Amino acid sequence: MGIFFQKGIHVRHNKRTSALQPVRIEHCSEVTLLMKQHIGAPCRPLVVPGDLVKVGQVIGDTDEGLAVPLHASISGRVARLEILRVVTGEDVKAVVITSDGKMTLAEDLAPPVLETQEDFFRAVRASGLVGLGGAGFPTHAKLRSAAGDADTLLVNAAECEPYITADHREALDAADDVMEGIALIARFLGIHTAVIGIENNKGDAIAKLRSLCAQASSHALKISTGILPSRYPQGAEKVFIHSLTGRVVPVGALPSAVGVLVMNLASVAFLGRYAKTGRPLISRTVTVDGSAVAKPMNVRVPIGIKLNELTEFSGQLKSAPAKIILSGPMMGTASPDLNAPISKCNNAVLLFDRAEAAVQPESACIRCGACVRGCPMKLQPLKLEAAYRAGNAAALRALCAMNCMECGCCSYVCPAKRELVQRIRLGKGILRTADTKAKADAAAPAAQKEAST
């Protein structure tokens, strides 16, 4: 197996909702559907204020290849189109739909006809599926890029971030869908080996998946479970691949370069359901937890529901949240208020009280090496921080800043409470700016020569 990825850290799991089945929100007053909920080009709204829409109807799309359509998650009337500043700082178009309380399904929803590989790719795009583990990469594009190269499917059920149990529940409550999704992917990509990787702190899910894997395995497709240690960031793609296969993905390469396709467990389960029902991605399970939450739970929500309506459904908060995090506490994004909508990429909403949200003051680096020992990519965070502070692009490049997966291990273990991962991220910005300038400088002489002829 090698020794490439043997680092990482132990974090408090806080899996308080793992035994709680998701509670479905049957009705919400309105949804705000962002036209960009994936990596790639944003969608263009296909509706205007006043239009009546039904559940599953396409309301946004684009001709760009790296994108997926967006579907109405409730039925009702388009109230308005607006520009919304999202938690990443981008200004994104959004369609706001006011519910009619009926949840009427669009008439054209039907299971896709899947006879060829191209049928499969087109259906996956039409479903609106993106990576539900949080990355948001359009699934149809990932499948296309892996076709012909991947010999192994790895299903990621590690869910190593604290608090989040949405995938754990999917493994327990929709394991049959997971198996059907695996069979579909294997059939159309010619894959003969599938492994469900799951951390060893999920005993009930492991038992269920092992039983179903034994039943579903055949001479044509071997399906098994791979039990992983509960060590963050076990679910990070490169760490996950190495832990299960011993293969090391080269810098800048995709997993298909080493014959692997990695899919989040919830994404695989969705494909299994979509093939049977034809219902696109209009809802997902999120974990609602944190020190400000009186009643932690898993909730099946319509995409686009606002955080304030979700928290009202979840029950009275114990205190006003001092920090709101969308997805996990290690790699999630902070929201300034409860006005943000849930997107396809959010698997948790964490609300912390003032005491837990308090930021500890920084002190001087004591060069203890804790950040180096914890880094799963074997980087030197303390040196990367110094290179960022000096604005030294050459040093950042030499220290392989772009290899940082921004998992937050370095900041978590730092006894001086230094914001290492934040500064490495800013350092990447320095590198991107330097690269852009270098390309412009290289192109300038050619442009001047062409202009003079």
- The strand ranges marked E within 190-311 are 193-199, 222-228, 260-264, 283-289, 297-302
Whole-model pTM above 0.85?
A: yes
- Answer whether residue 88 shows pLDDT above 90: no
Residue 446: which pLDDT band, with cuts at 50, 70 and 90? low
- Answer whether residue 267 shows pLDDT above 90: yes
- Answer whether residue 3 shows pLDDT above 60: no
CA distance 256 to 386: 35
Alpha helix locations (H) across 93-165?
A: 117-127, 139-146
pLDDT attached to residue 450: 67
CA distance 422 to 401: 12
Comparison of pLDDT for 18 and 443, the residue scoring more: 18
CA distance 263 to 245: 15
Residue 449: which pLDDT band, with cuts at 50, 70 and 90? low
pLDDT attached to residue 445: 76
Question: What integer is the mean pLDDT of 107-121?
Answer: 97
Degrees, nearest 5: CA angle 18-124-140:
95
pLDDT attached to residue 1: 29
Degrees, nearest 5: CA angle 372-375-381:
55
CA distance 288 to 299: 7
Of the listed ranges 1-10, 46-55, 59-68, 434-443, the one predicted with least confidence: 1-10
Of the listed ranges 15-24, 116-125, 149-158, 313-322, the one predicted with least confidence: 313-322
CATH (residue range 117-277): 3.40.50.11540
φ, ψ at 238 (rounded to 5°) = -65, -40
DSSP state of 66: S
Residue 236: which pLDDT band, with cuts at 50, 70 and 90? very high
pLDDT attached to residue 286: 97
Question: What integer is the mean pLDDT of 373-390?
Answer: 96
pLDDT attached to residue 392: 97
For residue 82, the tally of other CB atoms under 10 A from its CB is: 11
How far from 179 is each of 185, 219, 222, CA to CA, in Å?
10, 16, 12
Q: Tens digits of per-residue pLDDT, 66-76?
A: 999 999 999 99
Average pLDDT, rounded, for the chain: 94
Q: Show the tokens assigned to 431.
A: 């590198």
Pairing of β 152-156 and β 193-199: parallel
Degrees, nearest 5: CA angle 220-241-87:
120
**Domains of the chain: which residue ranges?**
117-277, 370-452
Q: Tens digits of per-residue pLDDT, 151-189?
A: 999 999 999 999 999 999 999 999 999 999 999 999 999
Q: Show the tokens assigned to 173.
A: 């409550």
> In b/e form, how buried is each residue of 40-74, taking b as 16+ CB within 10 angstroms?
bebbebbbeeebebbbbbbbbbbeeeebbbbbbbb
Any idea how long the chain is?
453
Question: What integer is the mean pLDDT of 19-43?
Answer: 94
Residue 81: which pLDDT band, with cuts at 50, 70 and 90? very high
pLDDT attached to residue 4: 43
- The strand ranges marked E within 327-434 are 333-335, 348-352
pLDDT attached to residue 64: 87
pLDDT attached to residue 187: 96
| Cα diameter, the chain | 73
Residue 2: which pLDDT band, with cuts at 50, 70 and 90? very low
Q: Tens digits of per-residue pLDDT, 391-406?
A: 999 999 999 999 999 9
- Answer whether residue 425 shows pLDDT above 60: yes
- Answer whether residue 146 shows pLDDT above 80: yes
pLDDT attached to residue 42: 94
- Answer whether residue 20 shows pLDDT above 90: yes
Q: Tens digits of per-residue pLDDT, 237-256?
A: 999 999 999 999 988 899 99
CA distance 185 to 372: 38
